[in-house]
A and B are shown apart, each in its own frame.
Chain A
Amino acid sequence: MKKMGVLMLAMILVLSVMAPITVLAEPAEGPTQLAQARGTPGRTAAPARAPRVTQAEFARILVQLLGLGKYVPVNGTPQDDAQALMQEGIAPADGWMLDDTVTRGVLAVVMVKVMKAMGYEVDIDMNDTRAAMDWLNENGIPTGTITQSAESVEPLGAPNAPNVFQVSTDPLVTRELYGSVDAPESGADAGTASRGPETAGYEPVTMEEIIAVVPPVSRPERPTTPPTPFRP
């Protein structure tokens, strides 16, 4: 089991290092097809000159560019991406239809919400396509293509909800957030709530350990019970 896990990780790491990395000299016309590999139905390789981008692919791009990748499982699905974006208030007016192609209207509505999550002051009906397009034009944010719009996307400084608590019974996911120390987004210390260090009330403590932890510089006023370190 242990060897199997190590072997699997080693294979993945070797594959990743050997992977050919394509650096584009010129911008291409369409975004990546990363989400395609995740098995969302109805996808075929898009023609090079007229790429059709699904909402699943668009959601994946946004999750990455907004810095939300940490909060999506590494084997996450398009729905996981959509859920992470929704927790930031980002969704098309009709919700994420992951198999549908991204239209200009969907792009405009989503981009306005992205801008709001990034800190722009947006005071319009964000589900109104016309109002969204006007607002983007006024603020100089291009909506001709997804590639152009993506140029305006920046990582969120302090993501909202998905990082707060991640309750999962999946050992591939759970304890992902051991708990950044003193992180205000973590509600309280996520580490305390999940797994944190705690010595035992029943662990045997040797005399050497007691001497080590209680220097004889002054007389302890607390009982010399086994030490209980506080948790990260």
Chain B
Amino acid sequence: MNRIKFVAVVALLLVMAVPAEVFAVSRLGSKWFQVKHRLRVEYDDNIYQTKDDEKDSSKVINEFDIFVQAKLEQTFLSLHYRPQHVYWDDREPDDTTWNHSVDLIFAQEFSPRVTLSLKDTLLIAEQPAQILDGNQFGPDNDYTYNSVVGSLSIGLTPETTLDLSGRYQLLRYDEDAISDANDYDIYVAGLDLRRQVLPETSVALQLRGEQTDYTETDDRDSDSYQAGAALEEAFGPDLVGKVRLGWQHKTFDDSSIDDIDSAYADGSLTLLPSPATRITGGVGYDQSDTDVAPFANQDRFRVYASLAYDVTARITWYLTSEYIMHDLDAEDAPEASRTQGGEELEDGSENITQVSTRLAYKLNRSNVIEAGWQLIDLDSDVREDYVRNRLSLGWRTEI
């Protein structure tokens, strides 16, 4: 909790460090303050994400987006605050949920060659207990998540840049039964040495160090190091892509878990086949920590694609999908946890499929009507499977 206070105080100090006049003398962009509202009615067929006895409910989601930004000669600051209220038609005993999301972005140019960038994401969400047949299964699941990441970019030559970066993430649950296994602090330090070798090509050497600390337990803590290269390429006016690959070395605090050495790689492509069509796709593979205790590591493979198509000048259609595969090895769990109640912990895998589509109709510049469908299908050997569908109809407006 002290860390939450620390992050909040730092964020406030940053905002206060910018003189009030900044907001009045915004140099670029006409709108320094904006409020948007989004109202959606949604049908959710599996609100507790269970395999059997699915509980469905309709809900009304009210979301405000309060936006402040200042763009000056050498400084950029933006602050998004999104409070969200959800009313559930059929969920006991708590039929309302409040979620809060804050994004703070700050950039400062000290000189033409030295730039500081800072980004903070704060999420406070309520996830009430699961109630079935009048009985409560599982404690409240409210949590606070924060990620602050900063980068100092130094232009060594016109073609070469050095980036020094750091990141701190935290996750805290309100209820001890959840927080004991899941609360964490993650620290990341990074170095990028980037060179523009051609107008359309840049390459970079990258080093990363990541430390994952579970706050209430040490047996899943790990350190991960990455050394590799990145390539960014503009293949043509309508196609850009980037690739990142290298070697990862991972060690664990628990001595019974062996170190892992593995390659990592990811890449993405963005394509504009026509002025009305945008396509993005990507793929990635690495060793990551997992939210499924007692495993301390998983093989993670992800592939995704996204399409946006302007059907007419007023109607836009969005389609996205993602497939994720996790492989979990019992050897990557602490030895003391490999047997529970006489039952051996087994290897497992997870397949997660997500699909979303949305149709947006612009009534005018300030009002958009939208309809959407989201599907998530979790097929897992290590936790409860579920399929969840959400159908929504919404209205976005600028106040």
Contact = CB atoms under 8 A, between A and B. Distances in A.
A121 interface: yes
B322 interface: yes
B138 A193 contact: no
Contact of B72 (A13, A24, A153): A24
B188 A5 contact: yes
Interface in B103-156: 103, 105-119, 121, 123, 125, 127, 129-130, 132-139, 141, 143, 145, 147-156
A75 B42 contact: no
B194 A198 contact: no
Contacts of A15: 110, 116, 152
B177 interface: yes
A86 B240 contact: yes
Contact of A98 (B14, B199, B388): B199
Interface string A58-80: 00010011010110001101011
Nearest to A96: B234
Max chain B Cβ within 10 angstroms of own Cβ: one of A1, A97, A120: A1
Nearest to A100: B199
B137 A213 contact: yes
Max chain B Cβ within 10 angstroms of own Cβ: one of A4, A120, A126, A171: A171
Contact of A227 (B28, B29, B106, B138): B138
A8 B25 contact: no
Given A36-B155, A228-B383, A165 B71 contact: no
B258 interface: no
A156 to B, nearest CB: 10
A2 B187 contact: yes
A138 interface: no
Nearest to A9: B166
B302 interface: yes
B121 A178 contact: yes
A39 B242 contact: no
B96 interface: no
Contacts of A79: 202, 232, 234, 240, 242
B29 A65 contact: yes
A13 B278 CA distance: 37
Contacts of A164: 304, 306, 320, 356
B199 A97 contact: yes
B153 A37 contact: yes
A121 B136 CA distance: 51
B278 A86 contact: yes
Interface string A115-141: 000111111011100000000000000
Given A21-B72, A23-B21, A175-B169, A87 B352 contact: no
Contacts of B318: 160-161
B181 A203 contact: yes
Interface residues of A, number: 132
A231 B171 CA distance: 13
Nearest to A7: B166
A42 B84 CA distance: 46
Contacts of B255: none
Interface in B13-35: 13-14, 17-19, 21-22, 25, 27-31, 34
Contacts, number: 493
Given A23-B19, A69-B78, A118-B365, A75 B153 contact: yes
Nearest to A34: B109
Contact of A22 (B29, B75, B187): B75
A115 to B, nearest CB: 9
Given A39-B160, A150-B28, A221-B135, A32 B74 contact: yes
B14 A193 contact: no
B382 interface: yes
B189 A37 contact: no
Contact of A93 (B167, B237, B265): B237
Q: How large is the interface on B (under 10, 10 to 19, 20 to 34, 35 or more residues)?
A: 35 or more
A187 B321 contact: yes
Interface string B233-258: 01011101010100000000000000
Contact of A8 (B164, B275, B388): B164
A83 interface: yes
Interface string B279-317: 010111110110111100000001110101010011010
Contact of A70 (B105, B291, B314, B378): B105
Contacts of A82: 234, 240
B266 to A, nearest CB: 5
B18 to A, nearest CB: 6
Contact of B366 (A65, A119, A182): A119
Interface string A185-207: 11111001101111111111100
B293 A203 contact: yes
A215 B115 CA distance: 56
Contacts of B14: 13, 16-17
Contacts of B47: 230
List 5 A-B pairs, minimum CB-CB distance, nearest first: A95-B237, A39-B161, A227-B138, A200-B293, A5-B187
Interface of A: 1-2, 4-6, 8-9, 12-13, 15-17, 19, 21-25, 27-28, 31-34, 36-45, 61, 64-65, 67, 69-70, 74-75, 77, 79-80, 82-83, 86-89, 91-99, 113, 118-123, 125-127, 147, 150-155, 157-158, 160-162, 164-165, 167-172, 174-176, 178, 180-182, 184-189, 192-193, 195-205, 209, 212-215, 217-218, 220-222, 227-232
